[in-house]
Chains A and B, each alone.
Chain A
Amino acid sequence: MSEPSAEGRFGEFGGRFIPETLFTACQQLEASFREAWADPIFRTDLDDILREYAGRPSILTECRQLGAKLGLRLILKREDLNHTGSHKINNVLGQALLAKRMGKTRLVAETGAGQHGVASATAAALMGLECKVYMGAVDVERQALNVFRMRLLGAEVEAVESGSRTLKDAVNEAMRDWVATVENTHYCLGSVMGPHPYPWMVREFHRVIGNEAREQCRALLGGDPDVVVACVGGGSNAIGIFSGFVDGSARLIGVEPAGGAAVGRGQPGVVHGMRSYLLQDEHGQVEEAHSVSAGLDYPGVGPEHSYLASIGRAEYPSVTDAEVIDAFQLMARTEGIIPALECAHALAWIVRESPALNGCTVLMNLSGRGDKDVGQMMGILSQ
């Protein structure tokens, strides 16, 4: 995967559609990231933290029972085993290290399911930064445990009551905070979205997933898998694993929730600083996404995914909540792994497509563990 253009475009997607105050901040961030990313000391520092603190590299696990049941070879990239329980830690440790290098003393972050918020609060605690997390009021209710975790880690969590009270509104509120505090604050954006340089920078921080997986697949399989599958909300875990395989011939599948299928149902639009596929009504008002999984409840998608879809390199099918709930239970029962509801989207697609995938080798990014979803699933399954 190459760098975006100087204007931050992947094809016709991306860019920097933000107020003048944040434009200047994003230019400074881009320059700082570019310089840090080229600095072997920064890279070594980050690699050390990823290894000694986050627990990288994450392993591959072959799902023998589930694979046999589905008639394919199913391999999981175990991002759920990272510290804080998801891939989000890769990006957050990178951004927190960069924020310190830039002399910032405070992080703001948005969160949907709470995984990025927990990861941000964790990195802030580790590096001695202040941290404020904005979370939609609806999600605060759905993910009470993660709210408590963030507070335990010393972060301030603010429930966002504006708009649809979910992830997109948390992003708006984080941007409102940042525009007022930009001099001492870094906006630790949680996905491959937003204005340039975020989609590129966050991808680079998650590239480690794809780099490891490619090497691990070569050792295990002697080459690339046939299919690489990940769930897509903003799309950070998917971009991370795709980055290891985009130059090869594996099919790349980003699975969206049916109620938030930005690539599948959206049209190009501009929100949160980027031009990308976006769910919107006939007047250009952004629509609310609906998904059983708070982490995918986002009406847009990272611009590089829009680009990969536009050139036909990756496919973006969607699955329903009902399929996801079945897949969540299937993985728990057959493999003894409780996946995050987000990743259950990827599995739901594999299950649905298994007749067509017969005999294929499928690599799925298990981007997070499902502990945070257990309370919600208790409610759903008792109905």
Chain B
Amino acid sequence: MTHLDLEGSLRAARGAGRKLLVPYLTGGLGDWTRAVEAAAAAGADAVEIGIPFSDPAMDGPVIQESSQRALDAGATPVSILDEASRLDVGVPLVVMCYFNTIHHAGLERFAASLVRSGVSGAIVPDLPLEESGPWAAAADAAGVATVMLASPITPDERLPRICDRARGFVYSVGVLGVTGERASLAATATVLAQRLKGVTDRPVLIGVGVSNAEQAVEASRVADGVVMGASVVRRFMEGGPALVGEFVADVRAALDSVTS
């Protein structure tokens, strides 16, 4: 598919008064590409594709399970990007991968393989600002947007530097903890998003611990939108692409009721 401009697309959607919705799916698991299509058709503004890693230290049980199942089924970074290259869903694709996947492939080579597969951005949760230099340079040169993450305990002085380095959007981690569904949106989620909105014009999306339409709406009253992972992956494992499409459509409808 064509390589879309992640930040440009998100800014345009935000400019049109829309709250942003980025569902996450684990690459390489069953008919995951159909689920990406279903999510895009149901109103996703971008889709995040997880590249499974043997040691997903930032992920909770649902994404651990989906990753392990994908690995057991023989998924590799190469096979996933190959499948992604055949997608044409009209919204940007962003990969989520742990840094060893990039390091092992080689920074320039991995960035080039993303571009070839039509992937617009990368989220690397174990690559903090201070370690991001070489990858960010390779990604910038290739035209891949490196999304940066901020945490509820990130000190004020770091936030502008993180936002400056971010491309595409700033990932506002909603909770101290790993990915997974929670009964309610943590109070920390909107506090951090508010702090980020104060220092950047880039889209700010809350992810980790945003579990349903109601929480997405609550988060989006402050943030520009949300990333939803475990809630989407769980539905995919339970009911395949159709259930993903239904869920994304429900969240989309709820978000469309938010006026900013």
Contacts and interface: CB of A to CB of B under 8 A. Distances in A.
Nearest to A169: B55
A270 interface: yes
B104 A269 contact: yes
Interface stretch (B173-181, B229-237, B251-259): B173-181
A24 B49 CA distance: 27
Interface stretch (B15-23, B111-119, B120-128, B220-228): B120-128
B178 A179 contact: yes
Which of B53, B153, B158 has the most chain A CB within a 10 Å cutoff?
B153
Interface size class of A (residues with CB under 8 A): 35 or more
Interface size class of B (residues with CB under 8 A): 35 or more
Contacts of A45: none
Interface in B160-216: 162, 173, 175-178
Contacts of B60: 176
A21 B64 CA distance: 19
Interface string A1-26: 00000010000000111111101110
Contacts of A163: 54-55, 68
Contacts of A183: 153, 176
A95 interface: no
A135 to B, nearest CB: 16
A283 B28 CA distance: 14
Contacts of B58: 19, 176, 179
Interface string B96-109: 00111101110000
B260 interface: no
A171 B55 CA distance: 9
B104 to A, nearest CB: 3
A290 interface: no
A329 interface: no
B243 interface: no
Interface string B49-62: 00001111110100
Nearest to A27: B155
B30 interface: no
Given A16-B131, A270-B100, A284-B77, A21 B153 contact: yes
A20 B149 contact: yes
B176 A21 contact: yes
Contacts of A15: 131
Contacts of B150: 20
B152 interface: yes
Interface string A175-190: 1100111110000000
A116 interface: no
Given A20-B173, A182-B153, A183-B176, A270 B126 contact: yes
A229 interface: no
Interface in A262-302: 267-273, 275, 278, 280, 283-287
Contacts of A269: 100, 103-104
A162 interface: yes
Given A176-B57, A176-B60, A280 B151 contact: no
A354 interface: no
A270 B178 CA distance: 19
B89 interface: no
Contacts of B99: 17, 270
Given A24-B155, A172-B55, A280-B100, A17 B77 contact: no
A207 interface: no
B55 A271 contact: yes
Contact of B100 (A19, A162, A180, A286): A286
B57 A284 contact: no
B130 interface: yes
A20 B104 contact: no
A378 B203 CA distance: 62
Contacts of B53: 284-285
B78 interface: yes
A272 B55 contact: yes
Contacts of B126: 17-19, 270, 273
Interface string B37-72: 000000000000000011111101000100010010
Contacts of B152: 21
A199 B128 CA distance: 18
Contact of B104 (A16, A17, A176, A283): A283
A168 interface: yes
14 contacts: A19-B151, A21-B152, A24-B154, A162-B68, A163-B54, A163-B55, A163-B68, A168-B55, A171-B57, A172-B55, A271-B55, A271-B100, A283-B104, A287-B54
Query: 3 shortest A-B CB distances, which residue pairs?
Result: A284-B104, A180-B177, A21-B151
Interface of A: 7, 15-21, 23-25, 162-163, 168-169, 171-172, 175-176, 179-183, 267-273, 275, 278, 280, 283-287
